[in-house]
Chains A and B, each alone.
Chain A
Amino acid sequence: AQSVTQPDIHITVSEGASLELRCNYSYGATPYLFWYVQSPGQGLQLLLKYFSGDTLVQGIKGFEAEFKRSQSSFNLRKPSVHWSDAAEYFCAVGARGQNFVFGPGTRLSVLP
Chain B
Amino acid sequence: DTAVSQTPKYLVTQMGNDKSIKCEQNLGHDTMYWYKQDSKKFLKIMFSYNNKELIINETVPNRFSPKSPDKAHLNLHINSLELGDSAVYFCASGRPGEKNTEAFFGQGTRLTVV
> Which residue numbers of A lie inside 8 Å of B, CB to CB?
32, 34, 36, 38, 42-46, 49, 51-52, 88, 90, 92, 94-102, 104-105, 107
Contact = CB atoms under 8 A, between A and B. Distances in A.
Given A92-B103, A94-B96, 8 more contacts: A32-B97, A36-B105, A42-B107, A51-B100, A96-B97, A96-B98, A97-B96, A99-B56
Most buried by A among B33, B55, B103, B106: B103
A43 B41 contact: no
Interface residues of B, number: 26
B60 interface: no
Most buried by A among B102, B107, B108: B102
Contacts of A43: 90, 105-108
B41 to A, nearest CB: 5
B106 A100 contact: no
Contact of A99 (B40, B96, B100): B96
Contacts of B94: 100
B39 to A, nearest CB: 12
A104 B97 contact: no
29 contacts: A36-B105, A42-B108, A44-B92, A44-B103, A46-B102, A49-B100, A51-B100, A88-B41, A92-B103, A94-B97, A95-B97, A96-B96, A96-B97, A96-B98, A97-B96, A97-B97, A99-B31, A99-B48, A99-B55, A99-B56, A100-B45, A100-B92, A100-B94, A100-B102, A100-B103, A102-B43, A105-B41, A105-B43, A107-B41
